[in-house]
Structure 1
Amino acid sequence: MHWLKVFIAAFFEVFWVIGLKHADDPLTWTGTIFSIAVSFYLMIMAGKVLPVGTVYAVFVGLGTAGTVLSEIIFFEEPLKLSKMILVLILLIGVLGLKLVTGDEESEGAETS
């Protein structure tokens, strides 16, 4: 359940990172600020129960991969094989961290 928070937080990270680049009116800035709030709230809540270093690495890795892919799909960023290989390596590292961490609570973390 707590890892789901991390994945949703990374999903919203993609929106706010793109928003920081492309927002140009009050509505898009509102969406960007909302995405920042949701993203960080969920990441912080997950970090209270799961190991914070792993949570942050997974959050940033998934957000980075999602942002790169979104820029290619929606904003006509050039598709380069080298970029896709590096994103794949990043995702393999994120998956590896998730697999070796598991769902156990970190020592001294609060439960909610």
Structure 2
Amino acid sequence: MHWILLIIAGIFEIGFTFCLGKAKEATATLASYWYIGFLACISISMYLLLKATQVLPLGTAYAVWTGIGAVGTVLVGIFFFKEPADFWRLFFISTLIISIVGLKFVTH
């Protein structure tokens, strides 16, 4: 159950970085809505991370949370903000994914 909370927390981390990117592109009132989305996502993400770390080791939970956010943010950048998707960028994101999965398997 706590791993699921951690994964959802990571997804909300992706959400708050997405909102930041959209706010940067928006103007006036629309930007305010994206900032409200940012605050909502970061609050939910932190709350779920807090709940997950009550059972999971802090170092592992934090590494997985930031890893999910990092991988997701790079993918959001590629798909929504037209950032480059060259070989080396995808290669190193792949190694990060392998590390996240590895942490899951070695944590009791």
TM over 0.5: yes
- Shift, 1:22, TM fit: 3.0
Name segments (4+ residues, structure 1) moved above 3 Å.
Answer: none
TM-score (normalizing by structure 1): 0.87
Q: 1:19-57: per-residue Cα shift (whole Å, max 9, x none)?
A: 233314221111110000000000011001110100000
Matched, 1:64 2:70: yes
Distance across 2 between alignment mates of 1:27 and 1:18: 13
Query: Residues 14 and 69 of structure 2 are in contact (CA less than 8 Å); yes or no, is this contact kept in structure 1?
Result: yes
- Unmatched 5+ stretches in structure 1: 103-112
Equivalent pairs, count: 102
Q: 1:71-91: per-residue Cα shift (whole Å, max 9, x none)?
A: 001111111110000000001
* Residue in 2 that maps onto 1:91: 97
- Shift, 1:18, TM fit: 2.5
The aligned runs of 1:1-112 (5 Å cut-off) are 1-23=1-23, 24=26, 25-102=31-108
Choose between structure 1 and 2: higher helix proportion.
Answer: 2
